[in-house]
Structure 1
Amino acid sequence: MLRRLWRWLTSLVGRWWGGRRRPESPPPPEINPFSDAKYERFFLGLLDGVAQGWDSGRVLEYLGERVDDRFFHRWLMRFGRDRVLPSPRPQRELASRMVRLGELGCGRVGELAGQYGGQKLAQPLSPLTAAQFKSLFPELLQQRHGGLEAVREWLQGWEAQAREEDWLDWLERAGEDWLVNPPEARFVGAMLEFAELGEFPLAQGVGDWGRRLQERLRGSSLPLSPSGIGEEISLGRPPGGSQGDLGFENADAWVNRGNALYNLGRSEEALASYDRALELNPKFAITWVNRGSALGNLGRYEEALASYDRALELNPKDANAWDNRGIALGNLGRSEEALASYDRAVELNPKDANAWTNRGVALYNLGRSEEALASYDRALELNPKYAEVWVNRGVAAGKSRGCFYSVRLTLPPHLQNPALDQRGYEGELASYEEGLKYCPPDRDPEGAGWLNYYIGLTHYFRGRRDANPYPFWRKAANGYNAALNTLSETHSPERRLEVLRDLGRVLFELGQTEEAAEVRRQGADLLRRLLQQTSSPGKQRQLSLEFISLQQLTVDLECQAGHSQAALMLAERGKNSCLRWLLSGGTEEIPSPDFPSLQRYLCPEKTAAVYWHISPAALTLFLLKPNQDPIPILAAEERDAGLPRLRQLLEWEEWVETWKQDYQDYRSGKSKSGSANADHPWRRNMDSRLQRLGEILRIEALLGELADEEIDHLILLPHRDLHLFPLEALFPSHYSLSRLPSAQVGMTLAQQPLPPITSETPLLLVGYPESQDLPRLEFAQLETESLGLRFQRVQSRCGEQVRQDSLSKELRQGDYRLMHFTGHGGYDFHAPERSWLALSGREFLRVEELLDLPLSGYRLVSLAACETAMAGQTSITTDYVGLSSGWLVAGVSLLLSTLWTVESAASMLLTLRFYDQVLAGVPEPQALAEAKGWLSTCDVGGLREFYEAELRRYEADDVRVRPFLLDQLDFLEGQDPSAQLYRHPYYWAAFTLTGDIT
Structure 2
Amino acid sequence: MNEPRKKDELIPLQQTSLALSAEYANFLGEILLTISNSNGDRQSVYSLLEANLDKLQEGIQTRRGVSLPKILRRLAVARLPEMESESAQSMQESIRILGDWIQQFPLGNKAEKLEIAITCYEASAKFFSRDTSPQQWAELQNALGRVYQKRSSHNRTKNIEQAIYYYQEALDVLSREKFPRDWATTYNNLGTAYFDRILGSRLQNIEEAIRCYEQALLVRTFEELPEDWATTQHHLGNAYRDRIYGERADNLEKAISYYQQALKVRSAETLAENWADTQNNLGNAYRERIRGDRAQNLEQAIICYLNSLQIFTREAFPDAWATTQHNLGKVYSETILENREESLEQAILCYKAALEVHTREVSPQEWAATENNLGTAYRHRILGDKANNLEEAIAAYNAALEVFTEDDFPQDWAITQNNLGTVYREKGLIAEATECFWSALEIHSPETNPVECLKAGRNLGDTFFSAGLWADAIEGYLVAIRSVEQSRFWASTDKRRQEVMQQGVDIYANLVQSCINQGKLNLAIEYAERSKTRNLVDLLATRDLYPKGDVPTEILNQLQELRREIVLEQKRIDVVESNQEISEDRTRLNQLRQQLDNLITQKIQPIDDTFSTFYRVKPIKFVDVQKLLPNDHTALIEWYILPETFVAFIVTPQAQEPILWQSSKEDLQALVSWAREYLTADLEELGRWGWKDEEQKLSQTNILQNQRNVQIANAKDLATLLAQLGEILHLEHLLSFILPSCNHLILIPHRFLHLFPLHALPFNNGTCLLDCFPEGVRYAPSSQLLQLTQNQQRTEFSHLFAIQNPTGDLRFSDVEVEILRQNFTYQDVLVRDAAQKTAINNQRLRTAHCVHFACHSTFNIQSPLRTPIVLAGAVSKKAVELERDIFVRQTIQLEKCLILAEVFGLDLSQCRLVNLSACETAWTDYTSFSDEYIGLSSGFIYAGSPSVVCSLWSVNDLATAFLMIQFYNLLRTSTSVAVALNQAQLWLRDVTMTELENWIEENQLPLRPTIKIVISRLFRQIPDDARLFKEPFWWAGFCAIGQ
Compute the TM-score of the two structures, normalised by the length of structure 2. Answer: 0.47
Larger radius of gyration: 2
Which one scores higher on RCO, CA 8 angstroms, separation ≥ 6? 1
